[in-house]
Chain A
Amino acid sequence: MAMHGMRGLSVFISDIRNCQNKEQERQRIDKELGNVRNRFKNEKGLSPYEKKKYVWKMLYIYMLGYDVDFGHMEAVSLISAPKYPEKQVGYIVTSCLLNENHDFLRLAINTVRNDIIGRNETFQCLALTMVGNIGGREFAESLAPDVQKLLLSSSCRPLVRKKAALCLLRLYRKNPDVVNVDGWADRMAQLLDERDLGVLTSSMSLLVALVSNNHEAYWSCLPKCVKTLERLARNQDIPQEYTYYGIPSPWLQVKTMRALQYFPTIEDPYTRRTLFEVLQRILMGTDVVKNVNKNNASHAVLFEALALVMHLDAEKEMMSQCVALLGKFIAVREPNIRYLGLENMTRMLMVTDAQEIIKRHQAQIITSLKDPDISIRRRALDLLYGMCDVTNAKDIVEELLQYLSSADFTMREELSLKAAILAEKFAPDLSWYVDVILQLIDKAGDFISDDIWFRVVQFVTNNDDLQVSAYILGEYSHLLARRPGCSPKEIFGILHEKLPTVSTTTIPILLSAYAKILMHTQPPDQELQSQIWAIFNKYESCIDAEIQQRAVEYFALCQKGAALMDILAEMPKFPERKSSLIKRAEYSEADTAEQSAIKLRAQQQPSNALVVTDQPPANGATSPVPVGQLSLAMVPSMITTEDHTSTDPASSQQNGSLTKVDPQHPSADLLGDLLGPLAIEGPPGATVQSEHNAVSRLEGGPDAVDGSAIVPVEEQRNTVQPIGNIAERFHALCLKDSGVLYEDPYIQIGIKAEWRAHHGRLVLFLGNKNTAPLVSVQALMLPPAHLKMELSLVPDTIPPRAQVQCPLEVVNLRPSRDVAVLDFSYKFGTNMVNVKLRLPAVLNKFLQPIPVPAEEFFPQWRSLSGPPLKLQEVVRGVRPMPLPEMANLLNSFRLMICPGLDPNPNNLVASTTFYSESTHAMLCLIRIETDPADRTQLRMTLASGDPTLTFELKEFIKEQLISIPTAPPQSPAPAPAPPPAAQATPQIPPNDPAALLAGLLS
């Protein structure tokens, strides 16, 4: 049954196609959703044909990016339809709409199993495909033996077996124990003798997954892979249907060579010889042809062969053959081949002795750095970074610097980071290094991350050649004073220009630098002195204690004159450790080519010109951030300045530059958590806590208790540093349902959540990132009184590289803003790590946006009259934002904006349903009146049928409007915020149209 049989569906698709704009499309879709919803309400009257039609419509709507939050049951129910067309639709749509944790899916497990063990092979295929795409752990436990049987069965046809192979792969990923069966490896090896190429292709993917985890068990498969490759590449012994432009299944060839790359070596001489013969044939026999498809396919095989040769560390002769090929590739016109040539050359760097031959292509690679295609430029940058050593560092770094001024903004941070690392590692002499860093600051100051600042400080202070000194950037003037453009004043100028845009943690370092520049300027420069003193003066009343202390101290020191040089000179050395920049680079990208370059970087010997001494820290501190140590060096003067440390909010407000701090934090990206390893976002903890403090201070009144209750959660007593900012991760997860909750070098805790009315089902993914087990794993739930939480058993040990899933059931009993905390601990080696993590089971998760038409809204609004069901409050200190942004913010918390209800365009009206056991589904109505003349204040009115809900929701929304997760602690809000009483009287002038309207509405 095809779609042309479904007229209604064709009409709908035509309508969508004819929509002139997004708004029309939305209207058409809303209409259709309403229609489908209505039809499903009376399910009994629906024929299977109709059901099928509606389910396709749902899929279509979902594909266009609209939420389809109903009808899942109907899609799943089609799976048990007796006829093929309905059943097929059921299976396909279910695997598109649902995920593995969906309750409905579990309901279908028996039907699915019956199809798998049944005799109808088309049904078997459908069921295997769906389980292969979305089957979860429970499927793995109940279906694995059946699927294995199908895969190995001699009576089963290939069309079923090929699907069984990939289905088993899915189940294996959900539960690795499914192949912990005696003799499984031998059966796997037998499977590779398969003649059918479909089954062989699928089985090879299964093998790749198995050997990538544990190649030891599958040695017997190695000769079989070589045989398969021989069969394809040499004998071309395959059916015509499987050749692609004359090439025997390029995909199977590639997959087979991929599997071979997971075995560390090939010991058997015969197998090795056979393989090398095949590889040699591929390397020599691949010609450039006119037909694009044939060319691509043959080069796909060629590149895979190159990778395998590199992996096997072949004889030198074959290696130079490979480099020669790659050298040819990076210079061709075809951009795809150029890109892959650069990428594979970067991998080649890992091969012993290859570096020297690669260096011959340096000029060509530098040309690629200016390629019009950003994909190619990135590859060239990685390659240059990887191939840099003492002999070519000067050339390469200077090229990078030159390129920096014209590079795309998206590449500048990475470029400057890489240039800084290379300069540090391979500098032939100190003045060159300093010169490079100064150029970096000059050309890309805005793109330089804090890590570079810290590292420069750390590096220069560590250096033996600089014993005179603790004057960090001040030192530069000493070395460079004779060059044009490098007078102390000019250096001060360059640095000071950056001050308004650097983060709070960097300001103290700049202040130190100023002090040092000043002390080092002989003869003294009066103008410079008064300029710098004025800056110290300004920061003496800064709200940040560290900055304030520095400013006060330096000011005092400067007054005392040159005798105090000694105090500054007593700088302790930093212990040598892995450069935090390299660590950062490791996190910033997980690209394999990139990582190989970094690994190589780490192995290479640095130049001798700038050896960082390895000396234990004098004071025993181990913080990698130098700030703490710098301040320790200043202990003597602290006593005298203690009385200056009280903060003066009034004057801190005048400090305009401070309010703009920290624009370089990567913006909270919607997908960042899911798709990427997170870049380090500065040390967590300190800033976060002060932010919470700031919030609770702002709120005052009854909220202060709640505000401070969550503060200790961020407390870190561990030596293991988390990766990324815990608080930011939490805030991100409050808005979305999956992502990373916590990460450190050993573990990553991911979370996936589903919310249905007052129930929530969360799954914690505990992933061990190491090759050693994590032990004494403990997870303790500390639920607030309004949540019932049940965490399934957490295993005591997480095996190496394994991921454990722990479901957590949540029931919301009543409205509250309190937050649940997970007390999590584990042991790795001698490290005992304990973290307390807030869980994103927050109030807005129990909201369901619902549109309310005007004819229902107004009667509801009127019927809920006055406190405690309807509360009104004037909120001040609101983060100023345009109205659409505020609407988006509310939407993201599942409050549905109802446009058109309020005639005043400055107002927002929203509605939502709140679910809890005590309130059941309860409608909440919200109205926000903004003042276009003053965006920092607004009036909010909230109504619902439950007084606690009204209050809690009001406070919740208020928190969102006042605070921002990434806001600097010194937000420009009026510091002594008037504590807004729970029910403040409206203070809007009587001639305000909004006030008049409010009268009408209430």
Chain B
Amino acid sequence: MVNKQGQTRLAQYYEWLTLEERRALEGEIVRKCLARNEQQCSFVEHRNYKIVYRRYASLFFLVGVDNDENELAILEFIHLLVETMDRHFGNVCELDIMFHLEKAHFMLEEMVMNGCIVETSKANILTPVQLLEKT
């Protein structure tokens, strides 16, 4: 997740990369995606991977997938994440994610594990997050 200045706001990897590799990779794909306009498709090929991305106001959500994924399903999964955050924060914005990085991480962790989808029901995703607030 990056803002339109290219600053990373949330990053989660399911394959280990060293810090240098991550920096370089993020730089490359963010440059590629930010340069695109609304009339272009949401898929960018990068090396052997594909980036599926979606823009919400000042925030870009980028997901790197291999060639075995259904692109549109990923695109809507991004939207599901945004709707889930919306339900929790109420009109989620960049600042919510910055200052509640831990919650953003928890939600993502409830939705994705090891690069696979684990849950798609917003209620089920948010239960553990709310549990944490009560403690």
Contact = CB atoms under 8 A, between A and B. Distances in A.
Contact of B76 (A159, A170, A250, A375): A250
Nearest to B26: A65
Interface centre among B21, B133, B135 (most CB of A within 10 A): B21
B105 to A, nearest CB: 6
A675 B48 contact: yes
A89 interface: yes
Given A3-B100, A254-B70, A336-B75, A670 B21 contact: yes
Interface in B13-68: 13-14, 16-26, 28, 36, 39-45, 47-49, 67-68
Interface centre among B40, B72, B105, B127 (most CB of A within 10 A): B72
A971 B18 CA distance: 33
B12 interface: yes
Contacts of A335: 39-42
A67 interface: yes
A624 interface: no
A752 B75 CA distance: 32
Contact of A163 (B76, B105, B113): B113
Contact of A3 (B45, B48, B101, B121): B101
A242 B121 contact: yes
Given A65-B22, A250-B76, A251-B117, A1 B48 contact: no
B26 A304 contact: no
Interface in A16-67: 17, 56, 59-60, 62-67
B72 A132 contact: no
Interface string A372-386: 110110100000000
A564 to B, nearest CB: 50
A251 B19 CA distance: 32
A202 B116 contact: yes
B132 A65 contact: no
A64 B8 contact: yes
B18 A738 contact: yes
B67 to A, nearest CB: 5
A922 interface: no
A66 B11 CA distance: 13
Interface size of B as a range: 35 or more
A250 B43 contact: no
A198 B28 CA distance: 35
A96 interface: yes
Nearest to B14: A133
Given A2-B133, A335-B39, A201 B76 contact: no
Nearest to A173: B114
B80 interface: yes
Nearest to A135: B114
A726 to B, nearest CB: 21
Nearest to A378: B45
Contacts of A125: 128
B126 to A, nearest CB: 11
Contacts of B133: 2
B37 to A, nearest CB: 9
B29 to A, nearest CB: 10
Given A1-B132, A591-B48, A336 B43 contact: yes
Given A166-B114, A336-B72, A375-B44, A59 B101 contact: yes
Interface stretch (A293-301, A645-653, A810-818): A293-301
Contact of A132 (B36, B76, B114, B122): B114
Contacts, number: 207
Nearest to B116: A205
Nearest to B119: A198
Contacts of B72: 296-297, 299-300, 303, 336, 340
A293 B79 contact: yes
Contacts of A129: 109, 113
A249 B124 CA distance: 14
B41 A592 contact: no
A373 B40 contact: yes
Contact of A336 (B10, B41, B101): B41
A677 B49 CA distance: 11
A373 B47 contact: no
A743 to B, nearest CB: 14
A239 B124 CA distance: 12
Nearest to A590: B48
Contacts of A170: 114
Contacts of B99: 3-4, 10, 13
Contacts of B45: 375, 378, 591
Interface in A445-483: none
Contacts of B86: none
Contacts of A89: 102
Nearest to A307: B70
A589 B44 CA distance: 15
A205 B70 CA distance: 13
A169 B116 contact: yes
Contacts of A425: none
Contacts of B75: 296, 300, 336
A132 B113 contact: yes
B47 to A, nearest CB: 4
Given A166-B118, A201-B117, A675-B49, A670 B20 contact: yes
Contacts of A65: 8, 19, 22-23, 26
Given A85-B132, A254-B73, A375-B45, A202 B118 contact: yes
Contact of A198 (B47, B48, B103, B118): B118
A716 to B, nearest CB: 27
B113 A133 contact: yes
Contact of A88 (B26, B71, B106, B120): B106
Nearest to A589: B48
The 10 closest A-B pairs by CB, nearest first: A300-B72, A335-B41, A99-B16, A241-B121, A205-B116, A300-B73, A373-B40, A166-B113, A339-B41, A675-B47
15 contacts: A63-B8, A100-B16, A125-B128, A169-B114, A169-B116, A198-B118, A244-B120, A249-B120, A250-B76, A293-B79, A303-B70, A304-B73, A335-B40, A591-B48, A736-B21
Given A63-B11, A589-B48, A738-B16, 16 more contacts: A2-B132, A3-B103, A88-B132, A100-B16, A125-B128, A169-B116, A241-B124, A251-B120, A254-B73, A297-B76, A300-B76, A372-B40, A373-B40, A592-B67, A736-B21, A738-B17
Interface of A: 1-4, 10, 13, 17, 56, 59-60, 62-67, 83-85, 88-89, 92, 96, 99-100, 122, 125, 129, 132-134, 159, 162-163, 166-167, 169-170, 197-198, 201-202, 205, 239, 241-242, 244, 249-252, 254-255, 258, 293, 296-297, 299-300, 303-304, 335-336, 338-340, 372-373, 375-376, 378, 589-593, 670-672, 674-677, 736-738, 752
